[in-house]
Amino acid sequence: NTRIGQVAQEAPGTEEPLIAIVLKADLERSALLDEETTATDPHRIADIHMRLADIDAHSAESRAATILAGLGFDDDAQRRPASSFSGGWRMRVALAAVLF
């Protein structure tokens, strides 16, 4: 199984915490979590929960934090907004999102 990722040349400096930026990179997980809050069909809700379990969604935050830590962000830094970092550090966040 091969995955190809792309990192933008400039990483935006948003007010979102770094950990949230990395978590948003998993588009399937994000879409499932959004749908989970609005779904009303019990069968669809069960399917969503099953898929979330299949993709190990419950461990997403710890996996994202591990990647960020490996790129030099301690726990406090992971909770700070991206806008508080220089362009080079924001590029590391973009890389973490691709690795996630």
With 0-12 / 13-18 / 19 or more C-beta atoms within 10 angstroms meaning exposed / middle / buried, residue 54 is exposed
pLDDT range class, residue 6, cuts 50, 70, 90: confident
pLDDT range class, residue 22, cuts 50, 70, 90: very high
In the DSSP assignment, the letter for residue 72 is T
Residue type at 74 in one-letter notation = D
Higher pLDDT, 73 or 3: 73
pLDDT of residue 5: 79
13, 85 Cβ separation under 8 angstroms: yes
CA-wise closest residue to 74 among 87, 59, 60, 85? 85
| Reported pTM | 0.84
Per 3-state DSSP, what percentage of the chain is helix, strand, and coil (rounded to 5)? 65, 0, 30
pLDDT range class, residue 7, cuts 50, 70, 90: confident
pLDDT tens-digit map of 44-100 = 999 999 999 999 999 999 999 999 999 999 999 999 999 999 999 999 999 999 999
